[in-house]
Chain A
Amino acid sequence: MSIRADLNITPPVTPVKQRPKPPNRLKHYLTAVLVLLLLWFSAHRTEASFGELFEGMPEMMKLLKEMFPPRWSYFDNIVDGMLDTIRMAWLGTTFGAILSIPVALLCASNISPSRWVYYPVRFLLNLVRTVPDLLMAALFVAIFGIGPFAGMLALTVFSFGLMSKLIYEVMETIDHGPLEAMQAVGANRIQNIVYAVVPQVQAHFMSYLLYTFEINVRAAAVLGLVGAGGIGLFYEATLGFLEYDKTCVIILFTLAIVLIIDYASTKLREKLL
């Protein structure tokens, strides 16, 4: 006699298998219609017409033809501008990173003194990040005059916003063991931060620093358009005088520098993490 009969358990009745109903598609169709409407409206609003693009194609081709061959002799004139761009990016990144440390400590929910501190600080940080860097540069040019100093300040504010956010997110994911151990032996807040938080986040900090530097080099290359120094000034000058073969040299040079910096910083970051 089987155990099942002993225990008086009836085998479960297998229900007649029915095909599961296909999920309701209505929501998907509605989303698709909504997206299409949005696209149609934006195309209408921005007066996008691909006919115009095709008509403009020969104009663009003419422009490209004027760009080649690049006038290499112009290269000597722009080296200084390019070095200014790198300087601006480097100093802006440094100052932004230094400023971001205290703010990140205030923003991280596990280190900050109370939620009355970290919510308002985060809100202010979000406001800082919404202002585009080019606008910041334009404002600083109005105050400090034309030159790389205004660009450096704009990049400082920009990197400060970016770095603070990245760092406080890392701080929130640290291991709490060391923090508790430090508290158990009676460390104060500063000691806590120096011995328990900093060692855990410093590699990430360096990696984000390099990442911000990469972004800043790209941003610095165009800040000159509003008068903030660097290679951007040369974009404006050569495009204004319709000397596209010179513009081409600038573009190629920028491309080379950015690629080199990207490569170097990627290699360094791989070593750090």
Chain B
Amino acid sequence: MIKTWDTVVRKPRKKPYRWLIYIALILIYVWAFSGVEFSGLKKTAGKVFSSIVSGIFSPDWGYVYLPDGEDLLRGLLDTLMISILGTFISAILCIPFAFWSARNMSRLRTVSGTGKIILSIVRTFPELVMALIFIKAVGPGSFAGVLALGVHSIGMLGKLYGDEIENIDRGPSEALTASGANKLQTLWFAVLPQVLPGFLSYTLYRFEINMRSASVLGAIGAGGIGVPLIFALSTRHWDRVGIILLGIVVMITITDLFSSAIRRKLV
């Protein structure tokens, strides 16, 4: 008998429960579509859309700088400052959490496990809710935004820092322990130099994300450019919305370029 291609290479056998997955997927989509009904465009949709487009393409340049009080540049500066300070606070606060959650820093798995769970709870807590709570405490304004970003970012930064600590080379710490260094000295001379570039790079990365969050935190009164933006949206000053969106896009692009240039130097 001549061996044909089909007898030499068998077709991969399809799994028997494959169709079950397909049916489940279809059911999920049916369920999803059933809830999000398309109620049709609003009657004013066409008008609103055209005014949005014309507003965005003919921005209110006069708003860029006003000699007295609130203008675009000051709003953007506030947003930038909120994200710098918020990132700094979380970069400091997350270090103990990172060491707590790193598996190679403690002998018991339960210790690092609880650390990881706490970090993921902090991560899932929406930052807007956190901002609402801080607004209660310190009143509406930029400082509430700083605190919200600072606490919320601990979740992600702590996890990234923890991963970095888990990946270190054991050699230097063992050498130091062998030559009689105490715990603190090992940490300072063997662990820290290894993880510092990674820490800085993650901090810059988080700064980029915080920049985006800071521009929307204002929507609920936590300072920055979001405050005038939501105001302009609700009063339908589309030319002002246009210039603010433009400002946000330009600022985020610049900070992204800047921070990724520094990050490339670090790693």
Q: Do A and B bind each other?
A: yes
Which residues of A12-57 have CB atoms within 8 Å of chain B's CB atoms?
A: 38-39, 41-43, 45-49, 52-53, 56-57
A147 touches B (CB below 8 Å): yes
Question: A60-B137, A131-B248, A149-B36 given as contacts; is B88 within 8 A of A52 (CB)?
Answer: no
Establish whether residues A152 and B85, one from each chain, have CB atoms under 8 Å apart when the complex forms: no
Interface size on B, residues (CB 8 A): 61
Establish whether residues B128 and A143, one from each chain, have CB atoms under 8 Å apart when the complex forms: no
What class of interface size applies to chain A in its complex with B? 35 or more
Which A residues touch B212, using CB under 8 A?
A: 130, 132
B35 touches A (CB below 8 Å): yes
B186 touches A (CB below 8 Å): no
A172 touches B (CB below 8 Å): no
> Shortest Cβ distance from B163 into chain A, in angstroms?
14
> Shortest Cβ distance from A261 into chain B, in angstroms?
10
Which B residues touch A130, using CB under 8 A?
A: 212, 248-249, 252-253, 256
B98 touches A (CB below 8 Å): no
Which B residues touch A60, using CB under 8 A?
A: 133-134, 136-137
- Bound CA span A60–B129, Å: 13
- Bound CA span A144–B245, Å: 20
- Bound CA span A42–B31, Å: 48
A-B pairs with beta carbons under 8 A, tally: 152
Which B residues touch A84, using CB under 8 A?
A: 35-36
Among residues of A, the one whose C-beta sits closest to the C-beta of B80 is A42
> Shortest Cβ distance from A125 into chain B, in angstroms?
12
Among residues of B, the one whose C-beta sits closest to the C-beta of A214 is B124
Which A residues touch B85, using CB under 8 A?
A: 39, 42-43, 46, 48
Q: Per a CB cutoff under 8 Å, which of B31, B45, B256 touches A143?
A: B45
Which A residues touch B147, using CB under 8 A?
A: 53
Among residues of A, the one whose C-beta sits closest to the C-beta of B147 is A53
Question: A91-B33, A131-B249, A148-B35 given as contacts; is B129 within 8 A of A139 (CB)?
Answer: no
Establish whether residues A131 and B136, one from each chain, have CB atoms under 8 Å apart when the complex forms: no
Which B residues touch A152, using CB under 8 A?
A: 36
Question: A83-B35, A132-B215, A218-B126 given as contacts; is B230 within 8 A of A138 (CB)?
Answer: yes
Which A residues touch B249, using CB under 8 A?
A: 127, 130-131
Establish whether residues A225 and B35, one from each chain, have CB atoms under 8 Å apart when the complex forms: no
B229 touches A (CB below 8 Å): yes
Establish whether residues B42 and A144, one from each chain, have CB atoms under 8 Å apart when the complex forms: yes
Establish whether residues B143 and A47, one from each chain, have CB atoms under 8 Å apart when the complex forms: yes
Q: Tell which of A46, A52, A83 has the most Cβ of chain B within 10 Å.
A: A46
B138 touches A (CB below 8 Å): yes
A204 touches B (CB below 8 Å): no
Which A residues touch B121, using CB under 8 A?
A: 255, 259
Establish whether residues A48 and B41, one from each chain, have CB atoms under 8 Å apart when the complex forms: no
B145 touches A (CB below 8 Å): yes
> Shortest Cβ distance from A183 into chain B, in angstroms?
23
Which B residues touch A196, using CB under 8 A?
A: none
Q: Per a CB cutoff under 8 Å, which of B38, B126, B143, B236 touches A222?
A: B126
Establish whether residues B81 and A45, one from each chain, have CB atoms under 8 Å apart when the complex forms: yes
> Shortest Cβ distance from A195 into chain B, in angstroms?
16
A63 touches B (CB below 8 Å): yes
A103 touches B (CB below 8 Å): no
Q: Per a CB cutoff under 8 Å, which of B31, B128, B143, B253 touches A126?
A: B253
B168 touches A (CB below 8 Å): no
The 3 A-B pairs of least Cβ separation, nearest first, read A56-B137, A42-B81, A46-B142
Instruction: Taking A142-B233, A239-B132 as given, write out 12 further A-B residue pairs in contact, using a Cβ cutoff of 8 Å, ordered by the A residue number.
Output: A42-B81, A42-B82, A46-B85, A46-B146, A52-B143, A60-B136, A90-B32, A144-B42, A235-B132, A251-B129, A254-B126, A255-B125
What are 20 pairs between A and B in contact, CB < 8 Å? A41-B81, A42-B82, A43-B85, A46-B142, A52-B138, A52-B143, A53-B147, A56-B136, A60-B133, A83-B35, A87-B36, A90-B32, A131-B248, A133-B216, A138-B230, A139-B52, A142-B52, A149-B38, A149-B39, A255-B125
Please list the residues of chain B having a beta carbon within 8 angstroms of any beta carbon in chain A: 28-29, 31-33, 35-39, 41-42, 45, 48-49, 52, 77-78, 80-82, 84-85, 88, 120-121, 124-126, 128-129, 132-134, 136-139, 141-143, 145-147, 212-213, 215-216, 219-220, 223, 229-230, 233, 236, 245, 248-249, 252-253, 256
